[in-house]
A and B are shown apart, each in its own frame.
Chain A
Amino acid sequence: MTASSGVVQPHIEEEGPGGAAHGTTGIDTALLGMMLFIASEIMFFAGLFGVYFNVRAATPVWPPEGIDFIEPLPLTGIGTVLLVLSSLTIQWAIWRIRKGDRTGLVRGLAVTLLLGVAFLGIQMYEYFHFVTEYSFGIDSGTYGTLFYTLTGFHGAHVFGGLVGISVILLRALQKQFSARHHIAVEAVSAYWHFVDVVWIALFITIYILK
């Protein structure tokens, strides 16, 4: 190398609080990646919501004749409460690990996992109930298709979130996280909050506003 003053080294990721990869300032890179991913998922649901609102606006009777069993209470309402609770519990888990409380983290994650599983269980029971009791399936007209596609893909995202929570729960049990290094927990919790927000939008749109 010649006498080259005025050169700097290539930019390398440095560590910062919460995670492994951290630029000199600003949001952690992995968390940024998760936020961008969530943005793309929002657009995915936007496509489905767009179709829902379009069809609804064009259909005089909505829900169509004979579909009077999509009610917010009791079951789906309970499921909603459980899911909202699970967002609170995972956030509590985050606050705990930020303070270095590994036990709190494990407990918070475990409860979140259970609440999420309960939500999915309620959803699956609802599906079963609709199909057997009312012969209401994905092929029951556009309304049926929309209902199952929207709630079904939401359920799939809940399942994905539960997989993520299981992974970080296992890692937490192996004491892999600390107050300074727990970026995976931050990322998974962001995803979980997103899943919850989508559910609230879905619940209000399909079950309440109708």
Chain B
Amino acid sequence: MSIGKTMACVAFAALAALTEAAAPPGDPGSHWAFQPVRDPAPPEVSDPAWCRTPLDRFILARLERQGRRPAPEADRRTWLRRVTLDLTGLPPTVEEIEAFERDPSPQAAETVVDRLLASPRYGERWGRHWLDVVRYADTAGETADYPVPVAWRYRNYVIDAFNADKPYFRFIEEQVAGDILARRGPRERYAEQVAATGFLAISRRFGFDSENYHHLTLQDTIDTMGQAFLGLTLGCARCHNHKYDPVSSTEYYALYGIFESTRFAFPGSEQKQRTRSMVPLIPPEESLPRWREYERRVASLTRVVQRAGLPVPSAVLRSIDDLDGDFELQAPAAGGSKGVLVPPWVYDGPIAVTTDAQSPFRHRHPGGRVGASIPAGTRPWHLGQALHRLGGPVRDASRLTVNLDLKTLPEAPGTPEPPGSHRFWVGRDGGGPVVEVMISARDLVLRTGRGTSLSLGAFTPGSWVNLQLDLDRKARTVVARVGTPGAVRTVGPHPLSSDGDGVVDFIGLDSAGGGPDSTARPGLCIDNLAIQPEPLEPVSTDIPGPVDASLPERDALETERASLVGIDGGFEGQKAGTPPAHPWHPGPNSRVGIRAESQSPLGPSSSRGNQGVHMPGGPAYDGFGQNLATAWKAERTERIHATFDFRCGEVPGGAAADAEGTWRFYLGHGPGTSAAVELFWSGTEFFRVDGGRRESLGPLQRGRWHRVRLTLDLRGRRYEATLQSDGEPEAFSGALSPGWDGVIDNVFIDSYGHRPGPKPALDADNFVLQDKVLPSGGAEGIVETPAAAERRRLRIGEIESRLKVLRDEAQAAAAELERLLVDGPFPLAYGVAEGTPRDAVLQVRGEPDQPGKPVRRGALSALAPVGMVPAGASSGRLELARWLTDPANPLPARVMVNRVWQQHFGRGLVATGNDFGLRGQPPSHPELLDHLASEFRRSGGSIKALHRLILASAAYRQRSEPEPPPSARSTASSGPASSCPVDDPVASAARPVPGSADATDGFSPFPRRRLGAEETRDAILEACGELDLSVGAGHPFPSPTRWGYTQHGPYVASYDHSRRSVYLMTQRIQRHPFLALFDGADPNASTALRRTTTVPSQALFFLNDPMVHRQAESLARSARRARVSGPEQVEWVHRRILRRAPVPTEAADAADFLARYRQALAAVPQPRSEEPDTRALAAWIRVLLGSNEFLTVD
């Protein structure tokens, strides 16, 4: 299977090698883009007066060489609209236009640019350009497209970075290595820098279990990084040396190793439906204690919720410092998942993630699902990870506790026990262990240095044992605790190894347990591998931590209440004449109801109640019952107890005794899925079913109350029961139904009997099912004085209200638990962290299962005369970031100034903004590109300074017309001070198309453009007064506790709001309908330059989309509120939308339109209440919103 292999590159390269014409001239070494950035002097021009800035000389010189003249200067209105939309994505207001037109200052334009650059709207506009390049999306893109609720932090980081004019080279560094830089301070910039690594985390995910395809995610990372920062397509080198660009396969895997040594936050996938490894936005020294505190709180809440019988939400959020060795977050092999460990684990050998290897010991979490197992035998193996989660190598922490749960697997009887050992160790990666524990089939031996061995005791193969090591690094001693709950043996303190420097930065397990490699080792299961600075609680099968004091109180209150209330089934509080309410429910079409006459007189409690359940007799079906809040299973509950009282009345119309229908008591799984016990009765006889056989238990007396009490032994699959009227109880017992499936979650009484026929009327009461023993007591009637009854009622009331408080507390605990599990103890980012640093192994032809030689981590050698070698035990990302931004690296500055130029002029100086390689297009103005790149470097990478430079130019002030149109000729000489002439067009005629290649290459005239997708939506909302300028944050995703997306039912949603479009939730698999329609960026691949397409479905949007109609009506209503007369309303909306007053012909057209529209409207049936005047005005507004003037920028 060649999944994921980019075969394309192989043949592409081969093909290109054959086709000489396709090959670019020259060798990569002399390619323009790889040459150092020069700082060329602006060329001489014959019309220096035209030039406002040095860059204009470059533009003009080229035009002059072509014998062309620049286009005349645009009028002030046009320039203002252009620059305002360019910088903020929103059109200028009428007031801004008028103020600018009135401003006589020579610095007027400069002032405008400063104002726009200072607006928060600027970052929303320019951040979006960057988000295009980094293919930002709010979902992961694997088969079920899991949502990433915190991805927005990176989006906002980008917006903020542009607003703050973050120096571009720092912007690069933070996106590549922000998590590492954050640790170097300052503290107040920690969160921001960590959030920046969202650049890496938002890489696309693939497949059903996306971690199986992590190599594709890394390819996407490298591709995007290359295009975004370097303008190079590095992806080709995955399978072979790049034929054009100086990137070898070896260099590709040098980069690959850097990202493989990085831990990516995990968004969830079909196979693993939870997020994990989200990165804390606070430093480890703060996050670790808070995480511990959080885990204790989670454990405590879990206990409360569990004990209250409420469902415990599955753990959603996992820390990068999780106490289960992170095995939990791997998946067992199933349905396309390979069941392997993922980074930061480094491993080799026959390791499997399985449910069999789940430890029974609980440390903080309610319980996991999987651990890791290694089969018996001689095959070597190892697994381990670097301890970056402790914030770096542990040097000065005085204490360190290590936890491991383990179990060796017993051999089949008669097979000799393997003599070899495995090894568990902590110490320095690549250096020596500080402590080692040898694990053989039935004992553990501690080693703390050469020749020092100490037995930690024996255990039984097949049974789990817990090992904890306390390292006191000040005293240089270790204390070991080995055992099972309640039986822990402590060994030590024992001196630590004096070998090495004592640094702990790695935790590992392997087959190096001593002895020759050929020695067979026992099978091994491991789980809950953890290391932390604080001591751990003793091993337990229960979640450790204090017992919540409210629970004994609740138990006592419930017992007291049971004795006071007795048994009543809870019918007392319900409304007479209605069917029994929650937790009871009536059967289908049933006539069951609550009534006072159905109160059972049987004790100990019954006379104290006042209502029971009644079902009329007859042939029709009737019944009531309940679905139990918890399903009882034999594994967890041994016995359950049930009781109910009943009384049969007459059969309406009468029936012969042997033709009388029966009632049924059912206890078991579901309604009718699988019965555990079924009992039947008519008015005169009681039956049970035993082993499938029906058996009479004797006669009943019609009109008399009877009581049934049952105790089910779920494990023994038997029951004991009594049937009692006023005499002695009659005992009977039997087996649970042979076909019972072991689940009890449903109980009911209904008329589906073993014998058809009209059934007697039935009263029922005191119907209880519980796992506590029922209060004892006979079935005699109770007599109570009114005073005693009153005291009892008062006490019951007190207990009830106290229990309600406790119940509310439990529910609040459940809610808090869910919130904690979703949100965590502190803000988290979708970012990256350091993993386990390792060099990558070259993948032959891009196939991960065809390993080649290992490749030293590093960067591209041909690009900058600086080497790049990762320092010590780090991924190398920081060094990569420094290499990317090294002033000697010519590409980043060139690529970025080109992007900025491109967004202002619609086309880059290099037309292929993501490809500066040998296959990309050469620059139209190479010297200008270098001039801008040099200025950019000089400014320290200030993008705002670059904008000022470009926007001050004469080139940017040109008209979008090659020559003044005839109507404007008379005013052209008056320059930018003249107002936009909107003349009557009758005199105008079509002019030649200025579409020659030179016209676009020369950036003259200024290229007209249509508003982009976000601008279009924002402009409509803004014009109609509906735009919400507040900053967006996360999206209203469903709670992760309810995620279960699959490829069959992927995550699909669209959330509308009135904030700016950059804040819209965008998915990878299903594109946002609006953004897709209007050429929004592809959320799956880097978009250097959006295309503008014109398709009729866009026109249909303006004609028929509910949003356009809604907005137009909103503005029409505002207009009618604001202005009384028709012409004033027209002018008002005209100014709101086109930002100018209508010319007389337009005003006349509008008046004509409104009149004709109202007239035509009168002929149409009016489905809505809106006034015709408003509807006509709304139609006029839609016309303006759909117009070219509104949607294009000159």
- Mutual binders A and B: no
